[in-house]
Structure 1
Amino acid sequence: MIDLYTWTTPNGQKVSIMLEEVGLPYRLHPINILAEDQFDPAFLKVAPNNKIPAIVDTDTGLHLMESGAILMYLAEKTGKLWPQDFPTKWRVVEWLMWQMGGPGPFLGQVHHFVKFNPGKSTYAEERYSKEAKRLWGVLDRRLAEVEYVAGDYSIADIAIWPWISRFEWQTVDFANYPNVKRWYLALAARPAVRRGWDVLKEGRAIPMP
């Protein structure tokens, strides 16, 4: 059993989607970041960086924070969605790290400045919106070559997709990124992705282009 501490953010949705894909049983512990639940001392024992998501594996007693590390752990635990043959293993890691270092932090800044704080900093809005389009372009060019970002469906796709699902906040138009659109819709049609995206079971529909 996996205890999952999460909320409806892209980083949180990565792990709930992964758990649904691999079929591991899990218990949901909502951490309402708007109510600052992430600063609760009990949660800090699991996630010292006071960020969601985090997990506790009751089989082993291991607790983990950081969504990328959790995806790798769950993939290794189940033997699913992370091929171990060389060089495929490292292609998956490459694109997982790309998400952690690129779309995660930079699209998050677009959300902060463009969606939630428009007019506060023209420089920041322009800087991060430009970087969002660049990152979408990188992904689109990659997906022109392969069906999924690392070849076959993997934890790399699971890491990236929830960030793309916030496209309405990111000053991008799917019409300019047809390969991303094809890939996005393919993942959105997966039952496990739909369940994991609406992890709180609120009946939230996946945004569609």
Structure 2
Amino acid sequence: MIDLHYWPTPNGHKVTMFLEEVGLPYTIKPVNIGKGEQFKPDFLAIAPNNRMPAIVDHEPPGGGAPITLFESGAILLYLAEKTGRFIAADLPGRAEVLQWLFWQMGGLGPMLGQNHHFSQYAPEKIPYAIERYVKETNRLYGVLDRRLADRDFVAGPDYSIADMASYPWIVPWEKQGQNLDDFPNLKRWFTAIAERPGTKAAYARAPEVNPDHGKTMSEDAKKVMFGQTAKRV
């Protein structure tokens, strides 16, 4: 059994997408980030960066003590290796998956996250910041679109953790100031993943955990989310 410490954000959705695809039993442990539950000592013991998702695998490969992991990319890689699913077995294929997984972790997620912040949440609308990150989002969409011009999925012909990592960040494309019609290869890929039963099941978990999912963030939640310092943690 896997305990998934989760809240329905793009990074949270990555892990439920994997778990639903493979059918691994898991229990969601909600971490309400708008109420500051990511700062609780018991959660920090699992995720010292006070970010979700995190997992506790009570049945790790080979037995032994439970394994805890934080960082969504590390979790996806661990689960892929544990199950032998959604990552290539050969070294060249594995390298393809990993480089695009790390591309998402180092670029797509952080840049689109800044887009979300300055476009939707910042108390002051700063035109330069909004334009900077909307343009960078557009560039990254272009990278994916070109990559998908001659292959079904990001790392090749097969669906992988590289796709699971990137897809949730494309879901709010309208709020990011983008138009999927400008990226036909990306749109085809996005539509195919959206129709997968595992994706649908994963996204169905969101309103179960947070009935207010998709609603405007409260001012109190913004203070918790965006007022973090070392002293605060």
Same fold (TM over 0.5): yes
Is 1:164 aligned to residue 170 of structure 2? yes
Aligned pair in 2 of structure 1 residues 148, 99: CA closer, same or farther (>3 Å)? same
Name the SS of the counterpart of 2:205 in structure 1.
Answer: coil
- Given that residues 30 and 200 in structure 1 are in contact (C-alpha distance below 8 angstroms), is that contact kept between their aligned partners in structure 2? no
Q: What's the offset of the Cα at 1:117?
A: 2.6
1:123 aligns with 2:128: yes
Query: Does the 8 Å contact 1:8/1:198 carry over to 2?
Result: no
How does the TM-score come out when normalised to structure 2?
Answer: 0.85
Letter in 2 for 1:101: G
User: Could you list the per-position Cα deviations for residues 14-56 of structure 1 after superposition, in whole angstroms to 9, with x for gaps in the alignment?
Assistant: 0011111111100010101011110111111111111000000
1:58-110 Cα shifts (integer Å, max 9, x gaps): 11300000000000000000000011212110000010011001110000000
| Alpha-carbon offset, residue 119 of structure 1 | 4.9
1:201 shift after superposition? 4.5
**Partner Cα distance (1:176, 1:164) in 2:** 13
Give the aligned residue type for 1:33.
I
8 Å CA contact retained: 2:3, 2:27:
yes
* Number of the residue aligned with 2:229: none
**Does the 8 A contact of 1:198 with 1:205 survive in 2?**
no
Aligned-residue CA RMSD (Å): 1.7
Q: Residues 118 and 176 (structure 1 numbering): CA distance in 2 closer, same or farther, change over 3 Å?
A: farther
Alignment-derived partner of residue 78 in structure 2: 73
Any stretches of 5+ residues in structure 1 without a counterpart?
none
Hey, what does 1:6 align to over in structure 2? 6
CA deviation after TM superposition for structure 1 residue 199, in Å: 2.2
CA distance in 1, matches of 2:213, 2:39: 29
- Point out the structure with max Rg over C-alpha: 2
Count residues with an aligned counterpart.
Answer: 206
Aligned residue type for 1:108: G
The equivalent of 1:31 in structure 2 is: 31
2:160 maps to a residue whose letter is S
Give the TM-score taking structure 1 as reference length. Answer: 0.94
Q: 2:203 aligns with which of 182, 188, 197?
A: 197
Identity %: 54
Q: What per-residue deviation string (whole Å, max 9, x for no partner) do you get for residues 149-195 of structure 1?
A: 00110000000000001112111001101111111110000111111
One-letter code aligned to 2:126: S
The residue identity in structure 1 corresponding to 2:108 is P
Letter in 2 for 1:141: R
CA contact (8 A) 2:206 2:213 kept: no
Which stretches of structure 1, 4 residues or more, deviate above 3 A after TM superposition? 200-206
In 1, the alpha carbon distance for the partners of 2:113 and 2:143 equals: 17
**How far apart, in 2, do the equivalents of 1:7 and 1:201 lie?**
10
In structure 1, give the amino acid aligned to 2:204: D
Unaligned runs of 5+ in 2: 61-65, 215-233
